[in-house]
Every structure is written in structure tokens, then in C-alpha cells.
């Protein structure tokens, strides 16, 4: 019971609390409203009349706002929170105290009851009873009565007064409230007081791009316009620029952020304005990736922030752009107004691709919502086209044998070369050519852009003849992979061989130089020998060498060195001269063999033993020892032998020159005779043509005479027309002009032949002079009479041609041709007789020398044995010594005879003459040993001398056999020459037989006469068949020795033999028909083919034999250094990186040109 009573008491307390806080909330609303309305009036009044600046207005705004927040929280929010038991509401004890104060009768009862109840949980029942009693007494009191809402009425007046004022102001002067309130709320905005003028901003937009200038334009309007206007921003004040029409301007420079500004003039301020910062699209960075054409073999490049590009033609360029605030990016080329959009890859990133074809400018434009980039972005794309390759050719020509041309030079391209080739064609001596330019490749390094080249062009395969010209040029191609390979040609060069006359002139000049060189060398050897003798005599009585002696030895060494160089030069001259003769003139095998022997002799002139002796003399000079007498004596003997060898070479050279010149004149005479014969036939043909024409003209005249004329006037008229026709014919008839040209041509040709024969006569006179200059001249026959007759016949033909007596001219020309032929045969016969007589004479001399040499050897052997068996005190010693001296004299005779013979007999090798010198030296030393009575030395040298004699005998015996063989072959050749001049071949005999068979078929013979003719023809065919069988066997033997030849040819001959046998049967059987004739023609054709094939094989074998004897050709010494330099440069160029840019490659090229 007590618990329920107390709970009722608590409920009453709770009701009290709620009403208590409700009363506080009502009071707080009234008080705070009154306070805020009053503050609102005060603030507005202050601002309205104070016209405060933004700072004070801000202070008023935040003060009012603070007051509003405070009053609301303190008087409204706090009671509400406590009303709902939030934020520490009144406790029961506090409420009991307040109620006790309001109800006097309660006083502390309620408080005590609440306190006792708080203790009742731990006290006894007595307390419970006390609480129940008190609660019972308090239940009659209504606690809510302690709170009276009417007490709040006294606060309403504080609200009513400001509220009424505000309402009145709102009704009667609303701007008082609205303007000041607006200014306080917008405290950061500048408000100007009303002025007699107004500020009018003319800019339609205050959006400005970052980092750009912006000009503000202001126009003043009103009754009174101030003179100066100022703009204020960033707490600073700036004077504006006055413009016409009450306008002012001000420029903001490089704006980086938004700016608030206002204007003021005459103490009045404008409202505040703001510059809104916007961003233009801008390019932050870009990259150009260049993909070069594949043929450049160049790595691709990336260029960062490089707009001006230099790229090769055909490169593909991909630009990648990075930008800011960009919606689209456009590119235009070649100042074109049509922009092309770049591909957008991602936000603010774009890409554009183009192939570089030509140089042009390009422009980049960026756009966004606000505009485009302010400054133009312009660059230039320079495209380097693939240039034409360059070529510079140098050359060196073989002006001796005309066998090769060495080409060298520089080739270059900006990126690389493809190929290099040589183009040529042969132009004949008459200016005609039957071929276009041919080409051959020259090896180069394709990947090397700059390089040197050289090429040795062998001309053998072109078979150039004298007077022909070779036209050639070098062409180089580049590796242009965009436009296709381009080429550049060098200058056209020509290489002309001299004519036969020019070649002969050069040969004569070179022969004279060579002879002069040999004579000069011979004179120098003689001078050196004299100096050696002087030195020997000077040094015999001296123990040491003085300055003069050394000087003389030095001079001797220098002269010997000069002589050796001169001899080496002579060796080269003789070699080149022989090669040139072999190249441009035909020589007999015998003469060719002699030339080879001479060349061998020249090559062996400088022996190593002589060089060693001079080296010892040089060392002796350096050591200052005087034992040079013996050394000089040995050198003197070597020089004597050397002198004889040069003299022999000179004489052999003259003999070869004589024989070559004689062969050439014989060949020239034969050729001239043939030309004269052809001219004779041509003159006769021209005469026949004229006679035929004259005969036709006579017939025509006779017909005209037979015609009847009606009256005399017609005859006269006809005669006048005929005269006029003759005049026109003489004037305009091309046939008449042609005849005149033919006549002139005949005369010029005859004149040319006359001059050629005069040249031949002159050459024969030179040949005679050359023969006289030889030590043993050849026996030449006198041809003056023949020469005189030929000249007279040629002169007669010339005069007869001028008189239009072609028939007589032809006969004279024919006579001259026959006489030339006879003269050539006479010279040829003379040559053969001279050669046979000379060979026979040489044989006889060689036999005598060989017999004397054998006798000398036996005598020396006997004498050597006698010396070995005799004492120095024996009286026979003196006699034996005299015999040794006699043998020495005999050896001298053999030596002189052999040297004299060696000048004529080419087969005698140089080591034969050296062996003679050795024999003489041993015999001299033997005689010296006998004189000094040193028998051992004497007999030893006798033994050595005898050995040399035996060696000489063997060598000379070989030479004797060679001469005998030569004599035998010459005898056979002489017999052939005395017989038929030309033996017809099988094909010619078969042709003759075919003609006989065909004539017999057409003759119409029959019976016995026909049978006899057929039997003869069958016998002739059998004879030819047997001859062909022998030929086949001979070729089979040759084939066994030499594998050349083919089975096809053997089959061809077998087929011919079978067909011949068939013809024989038909002839014997008297069966002569067209089939026989056709078979004979086929036999003839097959024979001609077989002979032609055999001739080609023989020619090939001869050519191979000649090639086997040819020396390897080497470039001339003056060009060897050039070739080495080019090879070094080529090797150096290999080290140049191929990836160099065109500029640096050009610099490298220029460098090599300078060091050239």
C-alpha cells in the first residue's frame, strides 16, 4: 500500500517537472524573440545609417548570428532537452524543494518523504510506515499548481514593441529593412552609396583565361561624371585609363587566379565584380615516332617535343600529343585551312599518323568548350628525298699491249648502293658497230653508302683489232625503296687502239730505244771495266785505302747500281716489246722461239754471283781493309763476261729485228699484191659497165635515125630537146655523178696502193741498213729492179685511170700485182736460203768448236797426268809449263769462236758462255800456279778446267743436235715449197669430183664412153674414201694421246665413208641419178663441217698453248700504289657505321676525298 502511494507521489512530481520546463520554454521563446527582434532593429539601424564597410558588416552579421545562436540554445533548446529528461533535468529532491517553497503547508515534508524513500531499501519497517504516513498527507496537494503560465505575460510587451516597429517599417519603409539586411547578410560584398552617377561595366563576360591579360572596360553615366576612376583589388587601388566617351579601361596582366574588384570615383564605390578564371586548351608535350623505310636498315627514332623534323622520304611519322583541357586536336599541312582531326586515344591524349612525301609546314590546333589555343603552334617537316647516286671514275689504260683497263673511283649514295656495272661496245675502224652496249657487273658492298672501287678489265675476250675503238661507261644504281632504284652514269670514255701504221711506228721507236739502251749499257760496262783496271793498278802497292781510293770505289759502286737499274729497265723493255709484237703481229714459230731465247738471255744478265762480289766490295770499303785487288780481279772477269752477254744480246736483238722486219715486209707485199689484184678486177668491171652503157646508147641512136621525120622543123626541134636532155643529164643525173665518184674512188685507191708500195720500198731500204749494222750481215738479194718495175706499172695504171682507160689500167694493176707476188716469193725464198745457209754455217762452226774442245780436253787430261808425275827440279817442268800456256791459247781461240757463234745461234744458252768463262778462269789459275810452282793448285785447276770442257762438250752436243733437227726440218720445208704451192684438201677434191659427176649427168653421153667416165669417177671416189679412212685413223691416234675430240665427229666421218661407198657402187653399176647428186652434195657439206670443226680444235689447241706460255699480267708499277690506297680506304670504310645520318656520311665522304 505504501509503495502505490509513493508512486502516485512520484507521478505528481513528474507532472510538475513537465509543466515547469514547458513554462521555461514559453518564457525562452518570448525572451529570445524580443531580444532578437530588438537586436535586428538595432543592427539594421546601425548599418543603414552607418553604411559600414564589409568588415564591420561582417562583425554585425556574426554578432547577430552569435546572439541568435545563444538565445536559441539557452532559452529554447535547453528547456526542450530537459523537458524530455535530456541534459540533466530536475531531480525529485530539487523539485520537492521548489514545491515546498511554493506551498507553505508542505515545507519540508515532501523533501523528507523523497529522502526517506531513498533510505527505505536498507531501513526497517518503521521507515516504511513513516513514508506512507507522509505520502498520505501530501496526496491532497496538486504540485502543478506551483507553476503559473500567466507569469509570462509580462514578457510579451518586450516582443510586441520591436515587432510593431518592424511591421511599421516594413509597411512604410521596407528598404530600411531589406537593403540593410541584404548588406549585412552579404557582408563580403561592397555596397556603394547612391551617387550622382553610375558605374556601367561594358564587358559582356568576365571569364578570363589563365595566364592571359584581360582588359576591363567601364562606362560612366549620370549627371556629374568624375574625372578619375579607380579600380580596387587585392587591397590595392589603381587608376584606370581614360578613354573617349566617358569610358575607362584597365588591363589585368597574366592573371593566375580569380580576382574580385570594384570601382570608385569621387568617394562613391561600385558594386564588387569577379573575374572568373577559365583554362585554355594547351599542349604539354608530344612525341614523334619516325618509322624509316625498310631499305634504309635504320633503327626507328623517337623525338620528344621536337616539332621541326628532318626525315627521309617515305618515313611514317606518328605524333602522340599530351594536352590539358582539350576536347579535340586538329592538324593541318602546307598552310591548308582544312584541318584534320587527330585520333583521341584517351583523356587529353591524341595521335596522328602521316607518311612523309614532301617538305611542308604543319600546324596544330587545340580546342575545348571555352575556345582554342591562343598562340599558333607551327612547325616544319623537312623531307629529304633519296638523292641520285654519285660516281667519279678514274682509269689507267694499258698503252703497251692494250690488254686491260683499270677502273677505279668513288661511288656514293645518301642511303645505300644496289649495284655497279660496266657498259661497253666496240666501234670498228670505219666507225660502224653491230652491237648495243653490253654490260658486266662490278662487285661492290651494297650496304655501304660511300665506298671506293677498282676493277681490272681484261680486254682479251673482246678481240680488239688495230684501229678499233672501245666506248664504255660505268653506271651505279642506288637502293631507293620508295621511288625505285635510280642510276647515274659516268662520263663516256673511249679507248682506241692505234692503227697498224701507228703501231708499226711505235714498235720502230721502241726498238730503236731498246737498241740504244743496249748500246748505252755496253758503253757503261766498258767504262766500269776501265775503272776496275785503274783501281787494280792503284791498289796493288797500297796497304790501306785513302780517301781518294774510297771515293773511286764508291763511284764504281754507284755506276754499277745505275747500270743494274738500266739493265732491269732493258729487261722490261724487251719483255714489253716482245709481248707487243706477239699481240699485234704474226710471227713464225721459229722466230717466236728466238724471241723467247732472247728474253731468257736478258733475264739472266744479272747473276747473283756478280751482285755478291759487289756486296763484298762495299763491305770492304766500310771495314777499311786493303785486300780489294783479288776482289776487283774477280769483278773484272765477271764484267768482261757481262759485257760479252750484252753484246750478244744486242746482236741477237738486231737479228730478230731483221727477221721480223723481213717477215713483215713479205706479208705486206702479199697483202698489197692481193689488194692490187682486187683493184684490177674492180677497174675491169667498171670498164665493162661503161661499154655496156655505150652500146645501149648507140642502139638507141640508130633507132632514132631510122625514124622518119615529116619536116625539117621537127628534126631541129628533136635535136634541141636532145641537147637540153644531155645538159640536164650532166647537171642533175645521179648516175653520172655516181660514175664520177667511182672513178675518183679508183684513183684514190690506186694512189693509196702506190703510197703503200713506196712505204714498203723504204722499209726494205731500212732493212738493208739494219743488215749492214750487224757484225755478220745476212746475204740479201737486190730487189731494185723488181721495185722499179712495180712502181712503173702502178704509175701507168694511175695515168690510165685518169684518162678513163680502165682496161689498160686494169692490166697494169694486174701486172703490178703479179710482180709484187713474185717479189714476195723472191724475198721469202731469200729468207729460207739465208736461214739454211746460216744454219749450215753454224753447224760447221759448231762441229769445229766441239772437235777442238774435245781435243783440248784430252790434251789437258794428258798434261795434268804429266804434271802429277814430274818434280819441280825436273827439266821437263819448263816444257810442260809451255804446253799449258799453249793449251791456254787454244782455249782462248775456242772461247772467241764460241762467243762469235753464240751471237748467231740462239740455242746456245747463257750458262754455256759462263761455263766458257769458268774454263778460262781455271786455266789462268792453273798457269799462275805453275808459275808459282804450286803443283797441287795447278793440277787442281787443270782438273776443274777439264770438267768445264767436258760440260761444254755435252752442252754443245745438245745444241748441235738441235741445229741438225732444224736443218732437217728446213730441208723438208724447202722440198714442199719447191712442189705445189698448195695441196688441195679433201673437201676441194670432193667438190671437183661432184662437179665432174654433175657435168657427166648433163652431158648426155652413153655406151662405152659413159662406162669409162663412170669407172674413172668411181676410182676417184674410192681414192678419196681411202684418204678419209687414213685421216680417221690419224685422228683416232691423236685422240688417244689427247682426250680432246668427240665421238660425234668419228660418227660423222663413218657416215661420210658409208655414203662414199654407196656412190662408188652406183657409179660402178652405171646408176647415175638425182639421188646420187644429192648424196654427193651432202658428202661435201659433211666434209666441210668436219674440216671446220678440226680447224677450230687446232686453233683452240694453239691458243691454249699460247696462253700457257703467257706470263701473268700484273698492273703497272705506277698504278700499284693507287690500288693499295683504294684497298686501304675500302677496308677503312667498312668501319664506318651504316647508321650515320646523311650529314655525317657526307662529312666522311668529303674527308676521304681530301686525303686522296
Instruction: In whole angstroms, give the CA distance from residue 1123 to residue 263.
Output: 91
By DSSP bridging, strand 438-442 and strand 390-397 are unpaired
Domain boundary (1109, 1127, 1147) is at 1109
**Which has the closest alpha carbon to 141: 4, 3, 8, 1?**
8
Considering the domain architecture, whether residues 370 and 513 belong to the same structural domain is answered as: no
**Three cell numbers at 1005?**
653421153
Considering the domain architecture, whether residues 325 and 421 belong to the same structural domain is answered as: no
Per-residue model confidence (pLDDT) at position 351: 94
How far, CA to CA in Å, does 237 sit from each of 247, 720, 736?
18, 129, 120
Q: Is 386 helix (H, G, I), strand (E, B) or coil?
A: coil
Q: What is the DSSP letter of 73?
A: I
Per-residue model confidence (pLDDT) at position 238: 94
Considering the domain architecture, whether residues 251 and 339 belong to the same structural domain is answered as: no
Considering the domain architecture, whether residues 589 and 606 belong to the same structural domain is answered as: yes
Considering the domain architecture, whether residues 229 and 269 belong to the same structural domain is answered as: yes
**Which has the closest alpha carbon to 165: 153, 179, 152, 176?**
176
Q: Which residues contact 97 (CB under 8 A, 6 or more apart)?
A: 111
**Which has the closest alpha carbon to 908: 645, 696, 572?**
645
Q: Are 1053 and 1090 in contact (CB under 8 A)?
A: yes
Query: What's CA 442's distance to the chain center, in Å?
Result: 10
Q: Are 920 and 828 in contact (CB under 8 A)?
A: no
Considering the domain architecture, whether residues 245 and 104 belong to the same structural domain is answered as: no
Q: Does residue 764 form part of some domain?
A: no
Considering the domain architecture, whether residues 341 and 417 belong to the same structural domain is answered as: no
Q: Does residue 484 form part of some domain?
A: yes
**Which has the closest alpha carbon to 532: 614, 611, 609?**
614
Instruction: In whole angstroms, give the CA distance from residue 910 to residue 604.
Output: 7
Per-residue model confidence (pLDDT) at position 707: 45
Instruction: In whole angstroms, give the CA distance from residue 398 to residue 1115.
Output: 9
Considering the domain architecture, whether residues 1045 and 1059 belong to the same structural domain is answered as: yes
**Which has the closest alpha carbon to 40: 149, 214, 246, 178?**
178
By DSSP bridging, strand 340-341 and strand 377-384 are unpaired
b vs e for 371-395, b when ≥16 Cβ sit within 10 Å of the residue's Cβ? eebeeebeeebebbbbbebebebeb
The domain in which residue 974 lies consists of 502-672+834-978
Q: Which residues contact 813 (CB under 8 A, 6 or more apart)?
A: 676, 677, 679, 680, 683, 750, 793, 794, 797
**Which has the closest alpha carbon to 257: 241, 283, 233?**
233
Domain boundary (324, 350, 384) is at 384
How far, CA to CA in Å, does 503 sit from each of 204, 401, 580?
103, 10, 9
Per-residue model confidence (pLDDT) at position 1117: 55
In sequence order, the β-bridge partners of residue 829 are none
Give long-range contacts, CB 8 A cutoff, 24+ apart: 140-143: 141/99, 141/103, 141/105, 141/106, 142/12, 143/12, 143/13, 143/15, 143/16, 143/95, 143/99
Query: Computed from CA positions of residues 694, 700, 703, 705, in that sequence, does the dihedral angle turn out positive or negative?
Result: negative
Q: What is the DSSP letter of 499?
A: P
Segments of the chain with pLDDT less than 50: 1, 122, 692-693, 699-700, 704-705, 707-717, 720, 722-735, 738, 975-983, 1041, 1043-1046, 1108-1112
Q: Does residue 455 form part of some domain?
A: yes
Q: What is the DSSP letter of 146?
A: G
Considering the domain architecture, whether residues 162 and 23 belong to the same structural domain is answered as: yes
Q: Does residue 570 form part of some domain?
A: yes
How far, CA to CA in Å, does 170 sit from each of 174, 175, 484?
4, 8, 95
Virtual torsion, Cα 732, 733, 738, 744, nearest 10 deg:
-60
Considering the domain architecture, whether residues 853 and 906 belong to the same structural domain is answered as: yes
Q: Are 283 and 330 in contact (CB under 8 A)?
A: no
**Three cell numbers at 370?**
571555352
In sequence order, the β-bridge partners of residue 354 are 317
**Three cell numbers at 306?**
621536337
Q: Are 180 and 244 in contact (CB under 8 A)?
A: no
- The owner of cell 627521309 is 312
Instruction: In whole angstroms, give the CA distance from residue 314 to residue 742.
Output: 66
**Which has the closest alpha carbon to 845: 954, 948, 955, 959?**
959
Q: Which residues contact 340 (CB under 8 A, 6 or more apart)?
A: 330, 331, 332, 352
Per-residue model confidence (pLDDT) at position 475: 95
Other C-beta atoms closer than 10 Å to the C-beta of 627 total 10
Class of residue 604 by CB neighbours under 10 A (exposed 0-12, middle 13-18, buried 19+)? middle
Number of structural domains found in the chain? 6
Domain boundary (384, 408, 431) is at 384
- The owner of cell 660516281 is 391
Q: Is 228 helix (H, G, I), strand (E, B) or coil?
A: coil
CATH code assigned at 317: 2.60.40.10
- Strand ranges across the sheet with 241-243: 197-201, 214-222, 247-252, 241-243
Q: Are 96 and 114 in contact (CB under 8 A)?
A: yes
Q: Does residue 164 form part of some domain?
A: yes
pTM of the model: 0.56
Q: Does residue 884 form part of some domain?
A: yes
Q: Does residue 83 form part of some domain?
A: yes
Considering the domain architecture, whether residues 592 and 454 belong to the same structural domain is answered as: no
- The owner of cell 680502165 is 806
Q: Is 398 helix (H, G, I), strand (E, B) or coil?
A: coil
Query: What's CA 737's distance to the chain center, in Å?
Result: 57
Q: Does residue 828 form part of some domain?
A: no
By DSSP bridging, strand 493-496 and strand 487-489 are unpaired
Considering the domain architecture, whether residues 652 and 546 belong to the same structural domain is answered as: yes
Amino acid at each position: 500500500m505504501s509503495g502505490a502511494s509513493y508512486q502516485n507521489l512520484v507521478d505528481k512530481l513528474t507532472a510538475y517537472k513537465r509543466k515547469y520546463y514547458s513554462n521555461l520554454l514559453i518564457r525562452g521563446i518570448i525572451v529570445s524573440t524580443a531580444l532578437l527582434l530588438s537586436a535586428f532593429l538595432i543592427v539594421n539601424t546601425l548599418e543603414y545609417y552607418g553604411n559600414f564597410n564589409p568588415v564591420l558588416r561582417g562583425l554585425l552579421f556574426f554578432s547577430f548570428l552569435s546572439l541568435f545562436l545563444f538565445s536559441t540554445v539557452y532559452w529554447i533548446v535547453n528547456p526542450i532537452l530537459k523537458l524530455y529528461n535530456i541534459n540533466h533535468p530536475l531531480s525529485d529532491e530539487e523539485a520537492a524543494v521548489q514545491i515546498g517553497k511554493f506551498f507553505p503547508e508542505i515545507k519540508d515534508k515532501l523533501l523528507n518523504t523523497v529522502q526517506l524513500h531513498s533510505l527505505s531499501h536498507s531501513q526497517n519497517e518503521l521507515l516504511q510506515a513513516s513514508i506512507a504516513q507522509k505520502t498520505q498527507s501530501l496526496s491532497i496537494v496538486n504540485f502543478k499548481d506551483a507553476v503559473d503560465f500567466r507569469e509570462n505575460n509580462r514578457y510579451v510587451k518586450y516582443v510586441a514593441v520591436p515587432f510593431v516597429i518592424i511591421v511599421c517599417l516594413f509597411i512604410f519603409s521596407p528598404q530600411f529593412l531589406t537593403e540593410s539586411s541584404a548588406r549585412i547578410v552579404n557582408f563580403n560584398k561592397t555596397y556603394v552609396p547612391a551617387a550622382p552617377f553610375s558605374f556601367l561595366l561594358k564587358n559582356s563576360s568576365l571569364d578570363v583565361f589563365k595566364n592571359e591579360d584581360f582588359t576591363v572596360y567601364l562606362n560612366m553615366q549620370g549627371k556629374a561624371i568624375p574625372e578619375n576612376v579607380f579600380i580596387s583589388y587585392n587591397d590595392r587601388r589603381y587608376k584606370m585609363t581614360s578613354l573617349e566617351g566617358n569610358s575607362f579601361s584597365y588591363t589585368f596582366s597574366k592573371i593566375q587566379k580569380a580576382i574580385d574588384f570594384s570601382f570608385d570615383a569621387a568617394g562613391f564605390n561600385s558594386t564588387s565584380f569577379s573575374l572568373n578564371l577559365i583554362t585554355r586548351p594547351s599542349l604539354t608535350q608530344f612525341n614523334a615516332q619516325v618509322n624509316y623505310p625498310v631499305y634504309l636498315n635504320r633503327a626507328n627514332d623517337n623525338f620528344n617535343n621536337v616539332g621541326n623534323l628532318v626525315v627521309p622520304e617515305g618515313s611514317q611519322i606518328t605524333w602522340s600529343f599530351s594536352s590539358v583541357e582539350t576536347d579535340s586536336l586538329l592538324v593541318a599541312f602546307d598552310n591548308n585551312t582544312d584541318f584534320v582531326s587527330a585520333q583521341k586515344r584517351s583523356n587529353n591524349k591524341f595521335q596522328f599518323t602521316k607518311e612523309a612525301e614532301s617538305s611542308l609546314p604543319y600546324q596544330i590546333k587545340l580546342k575545348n568548350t571555352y575556345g582554342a589555343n591562343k598562340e599558333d603552334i607551327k612547325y616544319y617537316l623537312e623531307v629529304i628525298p633519296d638523292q641520285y647516286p654519285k660516281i667519279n671514275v678514274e682509269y689507267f689504260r694499258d698503252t703497251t699491249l692494250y690488254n686491260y683497263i683499270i677502273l677505279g673511283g668513288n661511288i656514293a649514295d645518301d642511303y645505300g648502293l644496289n649495284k655497279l656495272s660496266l657498259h661497253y661496245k666496240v666501234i670498228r675502224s670505219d666507225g660502224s658497230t653491230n652491237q648495243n652496249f653490253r654490260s658486266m657487273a662490278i662487285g661492290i658492298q651494297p650496304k655501304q653508302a660511300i665506298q671506293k672501287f677498282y676493277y681490272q678489265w681484261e680486254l682479251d675476250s673482246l678481240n680488239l683489232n688495230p684501229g678499233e675503238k672501245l666506248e664504255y661507261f660505268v653506271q651505279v644504281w642506288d637502293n631507293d625503296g620508295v621511288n625505285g632504284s635510280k642510276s647515274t652514269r659516268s662520263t663516256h670514255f673511249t679507248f682506241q687502239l692505234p692503227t697498224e701504221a701507228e703501231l708499226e711506228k711505235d714498235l720502230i721507236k721502241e726498238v730503236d730505244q731498246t737498241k740504244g739502251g743496249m748500246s748505252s749499257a755496253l758503253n757503261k760496262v766498258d767504262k766500269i771495266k776501265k775503272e776496275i783496271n785503274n783501281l787494280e793498278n792503284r791498289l796493288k802497292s797500297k796497304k790501306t785505302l785513302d780517301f781518294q781510293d774510297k771515293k773511286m770505289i764508291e763511284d764504281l759502286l754507284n755506276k754499277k747500281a745505275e747500270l743494274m737499274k738500266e739493265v732491269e729497265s732493258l729487261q722490261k723493255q724487251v719483255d714489253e716489246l716482245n709481248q707487243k709484237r706477239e699481240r699485234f703481229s704474226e710471227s713464225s714459230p721459229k722466230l717466236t722461239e728466238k724471241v723467247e731465247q732472247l728474253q731468257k738471255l736478258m733475264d739472266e744478265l744479272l747473276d747473283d754471283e756478280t751482285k755478291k762480289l759487289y756486296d763484298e766490295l762495299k763491305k770492304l770499303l766500310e771495314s777499311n781493309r786493303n785486300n780489294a785487288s783479288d776482289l776487283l780481279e774477280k769483278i773484272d772477269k765477271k764484267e768482261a763476261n757481262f759485257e760479252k752477254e750484252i753484246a750478244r744480246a744486242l746482236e741477237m736483238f738486231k737479228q730478230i729485228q731483221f727477221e721480223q722486219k723481213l717477215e713483215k715486209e713479205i706479208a705486206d707485199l702479199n697483202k698489197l699484191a692481193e689488194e692490187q689484184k682486187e683493184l684490177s678486177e674492180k677497174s675491169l668491171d667498171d670498164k665493162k659497165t661503161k661499154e655496156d652503157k655505150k652500146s645501149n646508147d648507140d642502139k638507141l641512136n640508130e633507132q632514132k635515125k631510122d625514124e622518119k621525120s615529116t619536116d625539117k622543123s621537127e628534126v631541129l626541134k628533136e635535136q634541141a630537146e636532145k641537147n637540153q636532155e644531155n645538159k640536164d643529164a650532166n647537171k642533175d643525173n645521179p648516175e653520172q655523178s655516181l660514175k664520177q665518184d667511182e672513178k675518183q674512188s679508183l684513183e684514190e685507191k690506186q694512189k693509196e696502193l702506190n703510197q703503200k708500195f713506196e712505204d714498203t720500198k723504204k722499209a726494205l731500204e731500212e732493212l738493208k741498213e739494219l743488215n749492214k749494222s750487224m757484225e755478220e750481215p745476212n746475204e740479201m738479194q737486190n730487189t731494185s729492179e723488181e721495185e722499179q718495175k712495180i712502181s712503173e706499172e702502178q704509175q701507168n695504171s694511175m695515168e690510165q685511170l685518169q684518162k678513163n682507160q680502165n682496161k689498160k689500167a686494169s692490166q697494169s694493176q694486174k701486172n703490178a700485182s703479179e710482180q709484187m707476188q713474185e717479189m714476195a716469193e723472191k724475198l721469202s725464198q731469200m729468207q729460207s736460203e739465208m736461214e739454211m745457209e746460216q744454219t749450215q754455217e753454224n753447224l760447221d762452226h759448231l762441229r769445229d768448236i766441239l772437235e777442238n774442245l774435245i781435243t783440248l780436253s784430252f790434251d789437258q787430261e794428258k798434261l795434268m797426268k804429266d804434271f802429277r808425275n814430274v818434280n819441280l827440279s825436273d827439266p821437263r817442268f819448263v816444257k810442260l809449263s809451255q804446253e799449258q800456256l799453249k793449251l791456254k791459247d787454244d782455249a782462248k781461240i775456242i772461247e772467241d769462236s764460241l762467243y762469235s757463234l753464240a751471237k748467231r745461234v740462239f740455242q746456245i744458252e747463257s750458262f754455256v758462255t759462263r761455263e766458257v768463262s769458268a774454263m778460262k778462269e781455271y786455266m789462268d789459275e792453273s798457269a799462275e800456279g805453275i808459275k808459282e810452282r804450286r803443283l797441287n793448285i795447278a793440277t787442281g785447276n787443270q782438273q776443274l778446267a777439264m770438267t768445264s770442257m767436258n760440260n761444254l762438250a755435252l752442252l754443245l752436243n745438245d745444241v748441235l743436235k738441235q741445229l741438225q733437227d732444224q736443218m732437217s726440218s728446213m730441208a723438208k720445208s724447202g722440198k714442199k715449197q719447191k712442189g705445189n704451192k698448195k695441196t688441195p684438201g679433201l673437201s676441194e677434191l670432193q667438190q671437183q669430183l661432184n662437179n665432174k659427176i654433175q657435168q657427166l649427168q648433163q652431158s648426155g653421153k652413153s655406151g662405152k664412153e659413159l662406162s669409162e667416165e663412170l669407172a674413172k669417177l668411181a676410182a676417184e671416189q674410192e681414192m678419196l674414201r681411202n684418204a678419209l679412212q687414213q685421216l680417221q685413223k690419224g685422228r683416232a691416234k691423236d685422240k688417244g694421246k689427247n682426250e680432246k675430240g668427240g665421238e660425234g665427229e668419228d660418227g660423222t666421218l663413218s657416215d661420210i665413208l658409208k655414203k662414199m661407198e654407196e656412190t662408188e657402187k652406183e657409179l660402178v653399176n652405171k646408176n647415175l641419178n638425182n639421188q646420187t647428186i644429192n648424196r654427193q652434195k651432202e658428202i661435201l657439206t659433211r666434209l666441210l663441217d668436219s674440216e671446220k670443226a678440226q680447224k677450230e680444235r687446232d686453233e683452240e689447241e694453239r691458243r691454249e698453248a699460247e696462253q700457257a706460255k703467257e706470263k701473268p699480267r700484273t698492273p703497272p708499277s705506277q698504278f700499284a700504289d693507287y690500288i693499295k690506297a683504294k684497298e686501304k680506304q675500302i677496308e677503312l670504310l667498312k668501319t664506318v657505321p651504316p647508321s650515320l645520318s646523311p650529314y655525317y656520311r657526307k662529312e666522311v665522304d668529303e674527308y676521304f676525298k681530301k686525303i686522296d
